[in-house]
Amino acid sequence: MSVTNSSGPVRVTVWGEYRHEKSHDAVRKVYPDGMHTAIAKHLQKEPHFQVRTATLDESEHGLTSEVLQATDVLTWWGHMAHGEVQDAIVERVHRRVMEGMGLLVLHSAHFSKIFRKLMGTSCDLKWREANEKERIWIVAPGHPVAEGLPEYFELEHEEMYGEHFDIPAPDELVMVSWFEGGEVFRSGCCYQRGKGRVFYFRPGHETYPTYHDRHVIKVIANAVRWAAPTEGPKPLYGNRKPLEKIGD
């Protein structure tokens, strides 16, 4: 049903590291214009989404203050070049999350600087590249991120990520993955940090067409809607006078 709060589109910035696509034929074959472009094209079809992209090798990684101020939800995919992301840009993204910007952390971005800074833990996990089947079960069917999904969906070939995943317990756990090789994984994890909402979503290895899967795109679009900021109170911090008279 209609849950419109206010006018205006959801402004999404899809950030991609965009390196594997240039250096690996196998990846370029699946994502000729980069994974970020693929994700952005799918999201542009959603009503009320206004989508742009940004990549590592642009100036300021494409994430200037102006771009971030005009971003409601940022999606982040990175893998081989986490270390090249400048600390000053990480701080800038972090400040925007504290202010209310939503952040979607995709797959190998579990090891990105921004996710580790927001989580406060190592964010380590098990992994294996063996073309395994992943079956993603919805464990919170009433959650907005699960809107329009079946009770599970499958990805025929994915990289395995297995527990233990060293994250804080999610505020809300929406999905758990089953892997052919014998592991499980908390695959859809919701967090509130500052005034911003953070969603970690597991699938998305660069050699598979995961970001063309309709269920994966549905989850990402739902998560963008869930993470879009609301106009909440702006708390005052620091030294404050008493609201009540204090005893003489």
| Region 35-74 residues binding a copy of itself, contact defined as CB under 8 A | 47-48, 72
Of 4-12, 14-22, 36-44, 84-92, the window that binds a copy of itself (rule: CB under 8 A) is: 4-12
The correct pick among 52, 58, 60, 144 for binding a copy of itself (CB under 8 A) is 144
Assess 30 for contact with a copy of itself (CB under 8 A).
no
Residues 212-231 that bind a copy of itself (CB under 8 A): 225, 228-231
CA separation for the pair 241, 17 (Å, rounded): 47
What number of chain residues touch a copy of itself (CB under 8 A)? 93
Select from 183, 199, 216, 218 the one that contacts a copy of itself (CB under 8 A).
183
Provide the minimum distance between the beta carbon of 115 and a copy of itself in the complex, in angstroms, as a whole number.
9
State yes or no: residue 149 binds a copy of itself (CB under 8 A).
yes
User: What's phi and psi for 103, nearest 5 deg?
Assistant: -140, 125
Q: In the complex with a copy of itself, which residue's Cβ is closer, 81 or 173?
A: 173
**CA 172, 178, 179, 182: dihedral to nearest 10 degrees?**
110
Residue in 41, 52, 126, 157 binding a copy of itself, rule: CB under 8 A: 126
Q: Which two tokens stand for residue 123?
A: 């964010």
Q: What angle do CA 87, 115, 237 make, to 5 degrees?
A: 75
Binding flag, residue 98, a copy of itself (CB under 8 A): yes
Distance CA 203, CA 200 (A): 10
Question: Is residue 135 close enough to count as binding a copy of itself by CB under 8 A?
Answer: yes
- Is 25 or 151 the residue whose CB approaches a copy of itself more closely? 151
Q: Please, are residues 119 and 168 in contact by the beta-carbon 8 Å criterion?
A: yes
32 touches a copy of itself by CB under 8 A: no
Least separation in angstroms between residue 71's CB and a copy of itself is: 12
170: which 2 tokens? 């999610």
Is 81 in contact with 112 (CB distance < 8 Å)? no
Amino acid at 11: R
Minimum distance of a copy of itself from residue 127's CB (angstroms)? 6
3-class secondary structure, 180: coil
- Out of 178, 207, 209, 212, the residue judged to bind a copy of itself by CB under 8 A: 178
Q: Which amino acid is at 223?
A: A
Q: Which residues pair with 55 in a beta bridge?
A: 16
Is 232 a binder of a copy of itself (CB under 8 A)?
Answer: yes
- H-helix or E-strand containing 28? helix 25-30
* Nearest distance, CB of residue 81 and a copy of itself, angstroms: 19
Instruction: Report how far residue 186's alpha carbon sits from residue 178's, in angstroms, rounded to the nearest whole number.
Output: 9
Residue placing its CB nearer to a copy of itself in the complex, 83 or 232: 232
